[in-house]
């Protein structure tokens, strides 16, 4: 059924756009130079809601890909990375990305019940998830549609810019923490 195929591709592209937006909001949150009014609170709320919204688009994207009969992708291949015979690497990357996202969502929902450290470690995996998802998007499906491909590449460019901003910017809080840690505390 071609409707499912189109639905799968559309939700895939929407997912990568939303995912990039969520990642950028997260980067902005962790690297905010200073908090002005309730800007941080708002950003945090949007970051969380948008992440959950992205997950629903992803579920539709994966479900339609499985149900659609144009190519064969099993349930196992959709959950276990690199278990598919069809486009083993790029499809596996997509699966990997989804698994990481699922782990991030679950640990975030349980954040007040688990240790801060565990949450942080899992949350940092988003820096793996995003490029993996991007690669999956570029390598699969969007080849014959420039508008889809350029959307994905555009997401990559904007996301990288956000990461560069985060890595190059110095934050007075973390630099003071580092400065104090260099003193004798042991």
Residues at the site binding other proteins, with contacts judged by CB under 8 A: 115-118, 172-173, 176-177, 179-181, 183-186
Name which of 14 and 114 has its Cβ closer to other proteins: 114
Please report how close the Cβ of residue 35 comes to other proteins at its closest, in angstroms.
11
- Rounded Cα distance between 146 and 118, Å, is 40
Name which of 3 and 181 has its Cβ closer to other proteins: 181
Name which of 167 and 180 has its Cβ closer to other proteins: 180
Please report how close the Cβ of residue 111 comes to other proteins at its closest, in angstroms.
13
Please report how close the Cβ of residue 47 comes to other proteins at its closest, in angstroms.
22
Token couple for 118 = 């565990």
- Rounded Cα distance between 136 and 97, Å, is 9
Whole-angstrom CA distances from 16 to 28, 119, 135, 156 are 18, 23, 10, 9
E strand residue ranges, 121-161: none
């Amino acid at each position: 059924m071609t409707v499912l195929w189109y639905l799968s591709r559309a939700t895939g592209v929407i997912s990568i756009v939303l995912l990039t937006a969520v990642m950028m909001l997260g980067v902005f949150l962790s690297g905010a130079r200073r908090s002005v009014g309730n800007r941080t609170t708002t950003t945090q709320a949007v970051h969380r809601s948008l992440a959950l919204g992205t997950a629903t688009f992803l579920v539709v994207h994966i479900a339609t890909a499985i149900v659609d009969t144009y190519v064969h992708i099993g349930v196992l291949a959709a959950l276990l990375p690199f278990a598919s015979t069809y486009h083993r690497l790029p499809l596996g990357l997509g699966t990997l990305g989804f698994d990481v996202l699922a782990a991030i969502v679950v640990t975030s929902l349980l954040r007040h019940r688990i240790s801060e450290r565990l949450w942080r470690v899992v949350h940092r995996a988003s820096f793996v998830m995003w490029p993996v998802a991007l690669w999956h998007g570029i390598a699969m499906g969007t080849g014959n549609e420039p508008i889809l491909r350029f959307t994905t590449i555009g997401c990559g460019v904007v996301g990288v810019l956000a990461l560069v901003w985060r890595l190059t910017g110095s934050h007075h809080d973390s630099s003071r923490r580092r400065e104090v840690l260099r003193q004798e505390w042991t």
